[in-house]
Structure 1
Amino acid sequence: MNGRTKSLATRLFLSATAWVVLILVITGVVLSTVYKRSTERAFDRRLNFYLRTLIAEAAQPDDPNDKSDKSERSVQSLGEPLFELPLSGWYWRMARTDGDKPEVRASRSLWDASLPKLEDQGVELDQSGVRLGYVTGPENQNLRMVERPVDLGTEGKYLASVAGDATEIYEETWAFNTYLAGTFAALSVGLLLTTIFQVRFGLAPLKRISSSLAAIRSGQAERLEGEFPEEIAPLARETNALLDANRAIVERSRTHVGNLAHAIKTPLSVIVNEAGINRGDPFAAKVLEQTDIMRDQVAHHLERARIAARVTTIGTVTEVAPVIEALARTMEKIHRDRDILIDSEIHAGAKFRGERQDFEEMAGNLVDNACKWAGQQVRVEVMVERSAANAPDPVLRIIVDDDGPGLSPTERTQVARRGQRLDETKPGSGLGLSIVTDLAQLYGGSLTLGAAPIGGLRAELVLPGV
């Protein structure tokens, strides 16, 4: 899986993870809130039951034969032992709100302490005529209280209050939240594992396409092969159609270039033949001279058009070592009378991403130029290196050195121009280095001239590798 596919997989995973976590957090908060409210409602129903029981006991008429205190009877009738246990967290109180003399009845659990009033805290009566809320009780206990004003007729008006320990609500809510968190944590792990599985296998077809395209670029394949899911199949079909169209365009370009070359060379040959009849005539000599220049220029530009068409071909790869070795043998034979020695050092497995004949054209021009000017030695070094840390493909660097007279910086700039020759005694048209420069630029490379360590000229060619 390449970097871009990994990036897509990472983005999908992070996006899915974020959504899963967000949904689970929102769901957890909602469930926790609903459970807490449900627990409070259950607790409130219990408090309201005790409140109604307390009011019912207080509203009973006094029995003349019953000498016990009415508050004692009320405590006994509520049926909750915690109301008798001092400071238990469960309390009730009946406080008279009319008359000059205050009267308060309270549970034994309240002991000598008192209960705050929800009315004093600004809590309004609800539709059922009661007040509900949290208060701080004796010894800073957190209490849930229900409070209701009642009119007992002849006995007066009272404010009845019942409070219970709210720790029960908090403990139940905490236990529920703990179980809920554990459940959601396990669910999150399961969902994330499922997401990883889906992302990995869901992107597998894209990984296959990526690998197939890499094989096409490296020259190991010509088309995307294999079955793809129906969502990816149109992409594979369009890619194959694009490759076929690209090859067709290249073939048509080659045919047109060949036809144009044939159409131009024939009139030029006629002109040369006619001018050659009168070679002694200055006009004829000038025609022949200009015709030779035209031939070179036409050949140069036709070659550029032909190469430009070939460069658009995807998947062409050339082995470097066989080309360099064949050039070295050929040049040594051509310059046998001068005893030129060509040393070559080639990186194992070096490959050029392009046509073989283009590489032969570039390397051949450089080696031939070095042999023309060398004294006795020419050195060719081929290296494969990365242009940048994140570069997808390596760079092919070909260095050709000779031990000839070399060139000054000004002369190096001059010889790189098309048709420029510094020494007319040497064979050639002056287009060699210009052709190399143009070819290298078409492939996204470059040619640099400098001073060679062995004394002559250094030509450094940079091309795309594999």
Structure 2
Amino acid sequence: MGSGSIRTRLMLGAFFVLTSFLAGAGYALERAFFDSALSAHRARLQGDVYLLMAAAELDADGALVMPPALTEPRFSLPSSGLYANVSNPNHREEWQSSSTLGVRPPFPRGLQAGKWFYDERERDGKRYLTAAYGVLWADGPRAQPLSFAVVEEDTEFQRELKQFRNTLWAWLGGAALVLLIAQTLLLGWGLAPLRRVAREIRRIEGGEQTRLEEQYPTELAALTDNLNTLIEQERARQRRYKDALGDLAHSLKTPLAVLRGGLSDPTTLMQTVEEQVARMDGIVQHQLGRAGASGATRFAPALVLAPVLQRIVDSLGKVYAERNLQFEIDCRPKLSWKLDEGDVFEVCGNVMDNAAKWARSRVRCSVRVENRSLVLCFEDDGPGFSDTSAALQRGVRLDEQVPGHGIGLTVVADIVAAYGGEINLTRSGLGGGRVEIRLPAAA
């Protein structure tokens, strides 16, 4: 698998997105658990402070009196990790729980009455969670400040965090692995049509099949249809060139044979050469026109037709200037169609030139779109077609007095056929011939 493959790119992208998402989610969950666990520990310490306040008493002299044991057994166990302190600054006395034996917990001092104090402190390499509260203790008419503080080593807190962290990242890591495996399988399934397309193209290159034959999802259907169209167009183009070359070689045999035979009669040699060269020139023009037809293609840019038709009319106006022919064009200025410009010149130029040869005074060209087809209609006011089927046969001329080789309309018919269109010869409303060409839209 190449590093530039779509599968690799999608997998790397999915890996980085999934890793970033899970890292962010894990951090958020860990932070939420930290805040929740810290609040729970502070709430428990706050309860211990209330326990101290319930147990504390002042004697008649205002001295602090504490019971020998509290209901929380950890306060009585040395180095238990939970320590209590009550200070009476007016009498400069301070009571500490038995658990502080051999330990110097960081009790807060100088608390403001009526305010809770929470903190995280460090001493002698240990970290502590602290909760403290200052009160004005009423003793008859007098009131004196007392401070109640509870400090707990954060060993238990850190253990809970570590356990949650290990569990969290184990589950997130497992989920990430499962998701990556599932995404790999989904990508393999989703990209399977592309692999089938590549496989079919290799078969076409190897000559094992002629087109893409399998059914593909909607997203690839347009691509495979276009590939089939390109393959068919290229095959049709090659076939046209091959047929044109074969027909050219076959068609030239007769005039060459006539020229060879004319060598034995010097008196008619010049006339024979002139006739056969003209004939061969017509044959070559016809076959080149067939071979050069581009044919229908959905990939051709849309060609605006009005300017092309105007250029043809301008050229014909100069050719037939002495006859003062009137050329008319009925085509919307912005009308466009997917056609090769050379084919348009070949088709319209040949048909309009033929109409101009026969016309008495008027040649009319109209273009419209009808039923998803482009309709080109060419009319003249000449004598019209005496034989519509013969007019489309190569080399047949309806009036030998009109210059030409009888090639134009057959070249037009070949190009129209290459586009999958049709050509009809009828009588014009102007009184002469009418050539109607219908070209369907590219599939």
The aligned counterpart of 2:16 is 18
| 1:116 aligned to which of 106, 123, 146 | 106
The aligned counterpart of 2:224 is 236
CA contact (8 A) 1:89 1:141 kept: no
Using structure 1 for the length normalisation, give the TM-score. Answer: 0.51
**1:8 deviation in Å?**
1.3
Give the SS at the match of 2:200: helix
What is the one-letter code of the residue matched to 1:15? Answer: G
> C-alpha separation between the residues in 2 aligned to 1:276 and 1:161?
136
Give the SS at the match of 1:152: strand
The aligned counterpart of 2:69 is 76
| 2:162 aligned to which of 164, 174, 185 | 174
> Is residue 2:31 matched to residue 1:36?
no
**1:152 deviation in Å?**
1.0
> Is residue 2:210 matched to residue 1:222?
yes
CA contact (8 A) 2:2 2:8 kept: no
> C-alpha separation between the residues in 1 aligned to 2:126 and 2:202?
73
Written as runs of structure 1 = structure 2, the 5 A alignment for 1:350-361 is none
**1:106 deviation in Å?**
1.4
| 2:131 aligned to which of 146, 159, 177 | 146
**1:167 deviation in Å?**
0.7
The aligned counterpart of 1:211 is 199
**1:10–1:219 CA distance, 2 compared to 1 (3 A):** same
What is the one-letter code of the residue matched to 1:23? Answer: F
1:288-317 alpha-carbon deviations (Å, 9 max, x no partner):
xxx9xxx9xx99xx99x989x9xxxxxxxx
Q: Supply the RMSD in Å over aligned alpha carbons.
A: 4.8
What is the one-letter code of the residue matched to 1:148? Answer: Y
The aligned counterpart of 1:91 is 83
**1:245 deviation in Å?**
2.3
> C-alpha separation between the residues in 2 aligned to 1:37 and 1:125?
25
**1:19 deviation in Å?**
2.0
The aligned counterpart of 1:376 is none
Q: List gaps (5 residues or longer) in structure 2.
A: 295-443
Written as runs of structure 1 = structure 2, the 5 A alignment for 1:28-427 is 28-58=26-56, 60=57, 62=59, 70-71=65-66, 73=67, 76-77=69-70, 79-97=71-89, 99=90, 102-111=92-101, 113-118=103-108, 129-137=115-123, 139-153=124-138, 154=142, 156-255=144-243
> C-alpha separation between the residues in 2 aligned to 1:202 and 1:110?
67
**1:276–1:174 CA distance, 2 compared to 1 (3 A):** farther
**1:105 deviation in Å?**
1.6
**1:63 deviation in Å?**
8.5
Give the SS at the match of 1:104: strand
Q: List gaps (5 residues or longer) in structure 1.
A: 310-466
> C-alpha separation between the residues in 2 aligned to 1:14 and 1:165?
45
1:84-105 alpha-carbon deviations (Å, 9 max, x no partner):
22232211112234x4x52212
> C-alpha separation between the residues in 2 aligned to 1:125 and 1:223?
89
Give the SS at the match of 1:231: helix
Give the SS at the match of 2:69: helix
What is the one-letter code of the residue matched to 2:94? Answer: V
> C-alpha separation between the residues in 1 aligned to 2:252 and 2:195?
49
**1:174 deviation in Å?**
0.5
CA contact (8 A) 1:96 1:159 kept: yes
CA contact (8 A) 2:237 2:291 kept: no
**1:95–1:112 CA distance, 2 compared to 1 (3 A):** farther
What is the one-letter code of the residue matched to 1:25? Answer: A
What is the one-letter code of the residue matched to 1:142? Answer: R
Give the SS at the match of 1:148: strand
1:21-42 alpha-carbon deviations (Å, 9 max, x no partner):
2222222111111112111111
**1:112–1:224 CA distance, 2 compared to 1 (3 A):** closer
**1:112–1:169 CA distance, 2 compared to 1 (3 A):** closer
**1:260 deviation in Å?**
6.9
> C-alpha separation between the residues in 2 aligned to 1:14 and 1:231?
23
What is the one-letter code of the residue matched to 1:242? Answer: L
> C-alpha separation between the residues in 2 aligned to 1:155 and 1:44?
28
**1:33–1:169 CA distance, 2 compared to 1 (3 A):** same
> C-alpha separation between the residues in 2 aligned to 1:269 and 1:96?
137
What is the one-letter code of the residue matched to 2:160? Answer: E
**1:45 deviation in Å?**
0.7
**1:157–1:258 CA distance, 2 compared to 1 (3 A):** same
CA contact (8 A) 2:211 2:228 kept: yes
What is the one-letter code of the residue matched to 2:115? Answer: G
CA contact (8 A) 2:58 2:64 kept: no
**1:143 deviation in Å?**
0.9
